Structure 1
């Protein structure tokens, strides 16, 4: 096993650094990219390494992979952090890479957190990527579609690294025990809990393991003892980044699918990640109008009441009111008929321009307006036998159009009956019958 681990630089070197793989075969959890049939594996076999963007969660091995790719391809590894560096540092690296290229040597430029570079900075390294001065490997935790220039994406393949699964993380713990020569002081159940706490982050897992190795002369910790000894990791969530949109999408679609348990799960994931409850309340209110509408007329008041209750109670008490709204909305009958009617009416309004209302429904406050027919023939609906006149309220040159078509669900079943009743009355009035 000794050849598996790089030599220890110092006693203070973190365990995660001491356990960095020394060769690509030791990389855990990324066989879909590095295996013989994986895209990077095929590149290396063909000895044609191209520029790439490594997209994945923290602790999945992006930096290690870039370093090993440089070694495998015989390239000089030049690391750069987009957080700490700017155009000046890039220019120095480009000059050095150009000199190496003149000597027949290649350079792999690794830019960690490449999404932190602004658009003009990203444009700055396009020429040296395009002419082959450097092979660019960028690492990002953000969706490249949103955070990187189209020009960069056209010159580099995007590879998605997976969060480590339990099998891969268990292998890391085995390696840590082999390197240190001691077992982790954990029961079987606590060891499984440790893998859960790491949430797919190999670096974080090894940091936790290092803290546990430091506990001397103690009996194995059970799950409660483990939780008391280490700090639980907060769920990965960035309110300004892609995860924010992913989770609200998951909540919205779970509500639409009437899956109350999944909806509650995503609701809690957002709260635990630090999402503003007001944002959640706003989206619940939008959902009530868009996906339930008049199938349950109480859905919108429920959402607004929950929002109001949160404003009055604050956290954490007010979060229960939002949870009640989540349950109500998830279990309510669903209809987007109002939403579709709104969109259809908007299209018709745009397409028909400035058509006037029919004259009989216009007010006539002046003699001139009466003389030209404003208000002539208007029937006051309350004076009719059925409280319904059946008159035309559309512009004269616009055929009657059905925008709102309620389904046979929830309260809208009753609305549909009313519309059908009025349709029959309207047909009778237009035929001149009673």
Structure 2
């Protein structure tokens, strides 16, 4: 990374922060190479590293979880390539603030100083406000760096995305979080008052969020502790971290997808984990029950017909018991589905049958299975030749039930798993009787 800054004017030394400033601010990196956990972007071969080496930035959207360095990277980018840095937040800014930011950027451009405009929480601007960025990005008035925790493909206009490069920041791994703790200890000139086990628990509790971790570290440094805390003592000392989960945003869809696919993949441990993630984060239990029921008919089907009954029984149990007791019934249904034999034969058959029905929806059924409630209908052949299957040998006549202009179709093809193995054997026996009849 050292050569990334060759030929660049050194960034002006930042004003010293007051001692009462939060630890996260006092430890904020002063150069890109000090940013931890995002080396795939800031390294020599990363997108940001290459842009800095060339001395030219393109507009970009920094997408990543909270506390991963989006704001820090934007500020350091401006310093690294000699741009004026301006920042606004979509949470607190409106149209007037945007117009002011663009006007100031244009004034500085006339003086030969281009502007990097950092827009925090850019996804919170509505579509019309996002369109307002386009002319200023296109004519080079600003280099836009937007930060978002939400999937840009869902939250940002296609026109804006086409003019910006989306760069994905990773949640900080254990090594990166340990680096932050080490820097804090060096600044405080003392170790954290934690046992090794409690230190591990602290890192795990951060869930990849560097800012959260440093806030917790600052809390620990703010008190005098005679003995290092153990994990249980640490848990009671620090506030519990609330799971990051927006029920109407991408996190919601990511987790329900993970739950459904873990069930389909017959991994009961993973399925229970994602179910727990959603329930502990406040997901509506009835929503999860609906999705489990869908998995029962889509991915288990007739391989185990009891799967659907288990889900419906879990819904009844939850209605009867409520939370938290009723959540055990939801967990039981989840485990039943994950451990059941799997078949999507009914799901596939439904799609094939629906498609054929749309294509051939005007065909009459064969005359032998038409109802004949009137004399005229009997005279023209309705019901003629109908065979009552219960009177046939083996309870199976082998008669034709397809329209005259539509040959028999195969929609449902049972697997050899679970109950469907017996269904497949039964269907094969019926098919053999039909062939004997036709012969």
Task: Bin the TM-score by the shorter chain.
Answer: over 0.9
Instruction: Identify which range, 363-372 or 348-357, moves more after superposition.
Output: 363-372
- Mapped to 2, the partners of 1:237 and 1:93 lie a distance apart of 32
Alpha-carbon separation, structure 1, partners of 2:175 and 2:276: 27
Aligned length: 428
Whether 1:31 aligns to 2:36 is no
Answer whether contact 2:193 2:225 (CA < 8 A) is retained. Answer: no
Structure 2 unaligned segments of length 5 or more: list them. 1-10
Q: How does the TM-score come out when normalised to structure 1?
A: 0.96
2:374 is aligned with 1:366: yes
What residue number does 2:86 align with? 78
1:377 and 2:385 are equivalent in the alignment = yes
Q: Which residue of 1 aligns with 2:321?
A: 313
Work out the CA distance in 1 between the residues paired with 2:203 and 2:14.
24
1:387-398 counterparts in 2 under 5 A? 387-398=395-406
Structure 2 residue 271 is matched with structure 1 residue 263: yes
CA distance in 2, matches of 1:81, 1:334: 49
Structure 1 residue 344: deviation in Å? 0.6
Q: Residue 159 of structure 1: which of 154, 167, 178 is its match?
A: 167
Secondary structure at 1:139 match in 2: strand
The question of whether the paired residues in 2 share the 8 Å contact of 1:7 and 1:18 is answered with no
Match of 1:133 in 2: 141
**What secondary structure does 1:136 align onto?**
strand
Match of 2:101 in 1: 93
Q: How far did residue 6 of structure 1 move?
A: 5.6
For the aligned residues, what is the CA RMSD? 1.4
SS at match of 1:54: strand
What are the residue-to-residue correspondences of 1:119-198 with 2, within 5 Å?
A: 119-198=127-206
Task: Identify the match of residue 284 of structure 2 among 267, 276, 279.
Answer: 276
Does residue 234 of the first structure (1) align with residue 242 of the second (2)? yes
CA distance in 1, matches of 2:14, 2:190: 19
Which of 363, 366, 369 is the matching residue for 1:355? 363
Partner residue of 1:14 out of 12, 16, 22: 22
Offset, 1:267 = 1.1
How far apart are the structure 1 equivalents of 2:185 and 2:15? 16
Cα shift readout 1:321-343 (whole Å, capped 9, x = no counterpart): 11111111111100001111101
Distance 1:86 1:243 in 2: 27
- Tell me, yes or no, if structure 1 residue 326 matches structure 2 residue 337: no
Paired position in structure 1 for 2:49: 41
Q: Which has the higher mean CA deviation after the structures are superposed, 209-218 or 154-163?
A: 209-218
> Counterparts in 2 of 1:240-259, with a 5 A limit?
240-259=248-267
- Structure 1 distance, partners of 2:56, 2:68, is 24
Query: What CA distance in whole angstroms lies between the structure 2 residues aligned with 1:399 and 1:88?
Result: 68
**CA-CA distance at 1:390 after TM superposition:** 1.3
Distance in 2 (CA, whole Å) between partners of 1:322 and 1:269 is: 13
The answer to whether the 8 Å contact 2:314/2:333 transfers is: yes
Listed as ranges, the gaps of 5+ residues in structure 1 are none
8 Å Cα contact 2:150/2:249 also seen in 1? yes
Structure 1 residue 383, shift from structure 2 partner? 1.9
Alpha-carbon spacing, 1:8–1:229, altered in 2? closer, same or farther (3 Å): farther
Shift of 1:11: 3.3
Match of 2:300 in 1: 292
Distance in 1, Cα, partners of 2:195 & 2:14: 29
- Partners of 1:7 and 1:111 lie apart in 2 by 23
Residues of 1 paired with 2:64 and 2:180: CA distance? 18
CA offset digits 1:62-104 (Å, max 9, x no partner): 0111011111111111111111112221111111111111222
Larger deviation, residues 366-375 vs 127-136: 366-375
- Contact conserved, 1:62 with 1:139, CA < 8 A, in 2? yes
The residue aligned with 1:52 is 60
| Superimposed CA distance per residue, residues 170-190 of structure 1 (whole angstroms, 9 cap, x where no aligned partner) | 111111112122321111211
